[in-house]
Structure 1
């Protein structure tokens, strides 16, 4: 750990917090002066000149922070001055989470340089966290799905992953695991340092301080909510969080249907806001931008021109009438059916009939259909005419594409994206790898890593995504979800393919890979097996399936009192009370001496 921190956190040595001293003035602060908390505050208001001098010193220090190699691939659309002026008189305190963030950066950097993956699993409790650490898993992942389904705090109402749980839930789980990491690190450190060197040489060294990567969903609200949530994660000890580009309020698990995307600009603002919050705290937590555009079918708004290419509408006549007849939009048709007292199945029928009468298409597809049906364009020129249109219109806003279409075809292309909007006002969207790539490219300047969420584990698709992203942003780190939602056995993989999948992805830049819900499924399978056998075999089932297996694997939870820290706390109590062996919690009567 010390080697990584030395290499990746140079500001611990060169970037110091400003001193706030002097009774009536604030002198300039040396950029290299070492300050030991707590800091003293002025007893009297400083002069304007002293105040400005102190502000300038802090700005210069933040500029040094911004210029660290750690941030070389990131864009900040704001100034150091705008950050320092919002920090207040008391400088930001060092965050333990930043130590973990810098360690994570070092772990990822080393793996990326070697073309290897950092692969991990979701943990739902300190037991899983500690066993992953003992076995050398380099980072810990906290899933929002798992928190929603089994760990919801505040009201303890568990349920599916719709992003509707209290926004403190996942930060609380991060804090729980981070505090457990610190506890196990302390007991392990004490155990090692309490042992003679010769014994220590034979003792397994366990690094419990594994950086925690956590699920921040959509940010749980607007910009201010995103900033508050980011602050909670940083204070809780998170090393990284990921934010996905779904619409808040329309959030679904990445592997459920009905996902609604936020406009590209909205999610970009979330990433900028999260970084700004971290800069206010002078924290180095990593940000992961996730896009769900590959499998999304709805988008909340057409306000961002970059999204227009993928929005689906319906063809209309020059009069504005639908090709299928009438002028009533889908939402109006449904509202009219409900107003006359239609039942649920009848409303579904109205929607189905409307959609069948008015097939959805993108504007590009509408242009292609217009060219094919045009009598003014020669048959042998239709293909080249459409190719000309695509060449000019790709990447343009819908308004620009409409004008290009008019110039190329000689007529106004009848197409409307408002008529098929859902009752909630959402637009229909064409998901796929290309819109996902477009969004990932938009997010990349503001994120440390980019995550493509997919509906199937597809190496060829992942390779295409990675190469297009890294063509524009060389060396950009990528993330892949090795999800338990995939039926891996039904995907046609051989055992060799399954074994190599992670390492094949790593070659394409997917440096971080995770089985998001391993912590949910693995204890479920183990408990199902144990419960089934325990009914008939009693203690034989427990001994064979648990106790003997723990011993065989060297699992330290076998001696659960020691694992929980009983020996460590006993040594503390003996130190402060000079207690005798008769009051020791780990004395001769402890049942753990049986092992």
Structure 2
């Protein structure tokens, strides 16, 4: 293999030019709000000697950024939903500005072995679906453009002209493991043409759905490392791709580690001397007892509290006031620092052991709150472009508090919101009118992107079930009456195989005409 014939001076000159270009990009209106733990020289040194990054992701990201900023200025919002089907995406172009590719949907429909939303599919699963969807968007854009240009200018105003290139927002889950796998996933997303991905703070492989236990999050430091890794990969590629920072801390019940003192305030410990929870559960299982009941009884005996709650339980009012006054002199206090302060301000000894409640998988028990979610969101904000607090339970006061508190720190922050979970609005105290106005009330707080992630499960299942019943009972007569006749009668005709402009018939023939030397456009 021959050596590169380049002078050292030329190499350094090219490097300095790369550094200058990176610094210019980072100071642009699009990226000026981002704060990185590294400098432009570091990123320049990590780049290839040629630009090998496709431009589509940046093009779509800039388009999405403009859409979101416009919504923020106008107090409006984008309402989209999740799908993995290119045909569905082609219809979304008529009503939605964006498309969402959900990891949960991919886990059901785009893998060899489907399963519940454990994010246990290969790390390149969602990027591959994004690539499939984006290529379908390009095809629809191409066949529509060709069909329009085969008509003279004066007739084009009457033709359909949809924006099929809706920016794609995709689910990056928790990054799928190590720093390098997160980097590779981010790169695949950019290569696929994504406009924005979201990364969350959930623990890998610890989701449970039917045993009455909540979510498990990782320490704040690990969450931020995930975001830094994605940001670094985007920067290495020179991509404008947006990063959506999602916090799943709300209603989480466990945390994997207590390595980060920022999380210590919310970790639960036993305030009574009891045997470890895991030992109680092992005995209960051997005796054939119901583990849910045993776990609940153990919690009652243990007197689970945060350390601050444990202090308050034994301290006098004046002692607790002195304790909190000292704790609040710094934004974050470790457990050891809190113990030391308590020893100086409270007469009674405080028994608190956060090891006793640990699960058989090693998780610590965690008491989530809006304050905890806000702190994570604020810490993550400088690394990303949009913030999403996953709040499955529709507690309006919590939703308002979260978005208000974050905007006290970052007044122009853009937010996303997902309609996940059961959302039993009646039980949560919402009136029908409040439910009706919810998207627009959220928009007033800067929630510019709202998504129903899993319509393609519940929604499509209902439609398929209804048609399956119709077909089984009535056959072609039912199809012609309820599907084909209305589809052909509406103006414009419903998109389908019979509509040659939509299914690509004209585009296919245009290729033959071009090869034959015929003209395919009208002036």
TM-score normalised by length of structure 1: 0.81
Structure 1, residues 215-266: CA drift from partner, whole Å, max 9, x if none?
0110111111111110011101110000110012224689994311010010
165-174 or 479-488: which moved more?
479-488
Structure 1, residues 290-313: CA drift from partner, whole Å, max 9, x if none?
111111000000001011100001
Find the counterpart in structure 2 of residue 258 from structure 1.
214
Task: Indicate if the aligned counterparts of 1:238 and 1:285 stay in contact, CA closer than 8 A.
Answer: yes
Equivalent residue for 2:300, pick from 348, 356, 367 = 356
Q: Aligned with 1:45: secondary structure?
A: coil
In 2, distance between residues paired with 1:311 and 1:190? 60
In 2, distance between residues paired with 1:162 and 1:93? 31
User: For the structure 1 residues 421 and 573, does the alpha-carbon distance in structure 2 shift closer, same or farther, using more than 3 Å as the test?
Assistant: same
Structure 1, residues 416-452: CA drift from partner, whole Å, max 9, x if none?
1111111111000012322111111111111101101
Equivalent residue for 1:200, pick from 130, 146, 156 = 156
Find the counterpart in structure 2 of residue 220 from structure 1.
176
In 2, distance between residues paired with 1:128 and 1:489? 31
Find the counterpart in structure 2 of residue 468 from structure 1.
405
User: For the structure 1 residues 499 and 535, does the alpha-carbon distance in structure 2 shift closer, same or farther, using more than 3 Å as the test?
Assistant: same
* Structure of larger gyration radius: 1
Structure 1 residue 493 displacement after superposition: 4.2
In 2, distance between residues paired with 1:465 and 1:174? 31
In 1, distance between residues paired with 2:147 and 2:244? 37
Whether 1:565 and 2:504 are equivalent positions in the alignment is yes
Whether 1:123 and 2:83 are equivalent positions in the alignment is yes
Find the counterpart in structure 2 of residue 330 from structure 1.
277
Find the counterpart in structure 2 of residue 60 from structure 1.
20
Structure 1 residue 492 displacement after superposition: 5.0
515-524 or 490-499: which moved more?
490-499
Alignment RMSD (CA, Å): 2.5
In 2, distance between residues paired with 1:357 and 1:141? 45
In 1, distance between residues paired with 2:197 and 2:176? 13
In 1, distance between residues paired with 2:34 and 2:83? 29
Equivalent residue for 1:437, pick from 374, 379, 384 = 374
Find the counterpart in structure 2 of residue 366 from structure 1.
310
In 2, distance between residues paired with 1:267 and 1:146? 23
Q: How many residues align?
A: 515
Find the counterpart in structure 2 of residue 136 from structure 1.
95
Whether 1:146 and 2:114 are equivalent positions in the alignment is no
Task: Indicate if the aligned counterparts of 1:97 and 1:234 stay in contact, CA closer than 8 A.
Answer: yes
Equivalent residues in 2 for 1:96-495, closer than 5 Å? 96-133=56-93, 135-152=94-111, 156-251=112-207, 257-316=213-272, 322=273, 324=274, 328-335=275-282, 337=283, 342=286, 345=289, 351-371=295-315, 377=316, 381=318, 384-385=321-322, 388=325, 391-392=328-329, 395-483=332-420, 485-488=422-425, 491=428, 493-495=430-432
Task: Indicate if the aligned counterparts of 1:420 and 1:427 stay in contact, CA closer than 8 A.
Answer: yes
Find the counterpart in structure 2 of residue 16 from structure 1.
none
Structure 1, residues 474-493: CA drift from partner, whole Å, max 9, x if none?
11001111236324566554
In 1, distance between residues paired with 2:209 and 2:296? 25
In 2, distance between residues paired with 1:254 and 1:566? 49
Task: Indicate if the aligned counterparts of 1:121 and 1:516 stay in contact, CA closer than 8 A.
Answer: yes
Task: Indicate if the aligned counterparts of 2:319 and 2:345 stay in contact, CA closer than 8 A.
Answer: no
Structure 1, residues 454-497: CA drift from partner, whole Å, max 9, x if none?
12233332211111000001110011112363245665544433
User: For the structure 1 residues 442 and 279, does the alpha-carbon distance in structure 2 shift closer, same or farther, using more than 3 Å as the test?
Assistant: same
Higher relative contact order (CA 8 A, sep 6+): 2
In 1, distance between residues paired with 2:167 and 2:333? 41
Q: Aligned with 1:415: secondary structure?
A: coil
In 2, distance between residues paired with 1:509 and 1:400? 37
Equivalent residue for 2:472, pick from 535, 547, 563 = 535
In 2, distance between residues paired with 1:125 and 1:305? 44
Structure 1 residue 89 displacement after superposition: 1.9
Structure 1 residue 65 displacement after superposition: 1.2
Find the counterpart in structure 2 of residue 517 from structure 1.
454
Task: Indicate if the aligned counterparts of 1:122 and 1:141 stay in contact, CA closer than 8 A.
Answer: yes
Q: Aligned with 1:214: secondary structure?
A: strand
In 2, distance between residues paired with 1:255 and 1:91? 50
Find the counterpart in structure 2 of residue 576 from structure 1.
515
Q: Aligned with 2:270: secondary structure?
A: strand
Find the counterpart in structure 1 of residue 29 from structure 2.
69
Q: Aligned with 2:286: secondary structure?
A: coil
Task: Indicate if the aligned counterparts of 1:219 and 1:229 stay in contact, CA closer than 8 A.
Answer: yes
Structure 1 residue 131 displacement after superposition: 0.4
In 1, distance between residues paired with 2:371 and 2:171? 25
TM-score normalised by length of structure 2: 0.92
Structure 1 residue 537 displacement after superposition: 2.8
Equivalent residue for 1:552, pick from 487, 490, 500 = 490
- Unmatched 5+ stretches in structure 1: 1-41, 317-321, 372-376, 580-595
Task: Indicate if the aligned counterparts of 2:57 and 2:191 stay in contact, CA closer than 8 A.
Answer: yes
Structure 1, residues 148-169: CA drift from partner, whole Å, max 9, x if none?
11222xxx10110011111111
Whether 1:502 and 2:446 are equivalent positions in the alignment is no
- Unmatched 5+ stretches in structure 2: 519-523
Structure 1 residue 530 displacement after superposition: 1.6
Structure 1, residues 74-108: CA drift from partner, whole Å, max 9, x if none?
11110111111111322343421111111111111
Task: Indicate if the aligned counterparts of 1:92 and 1:280 stay in contact, CA closer than 8 A.
Answer: no
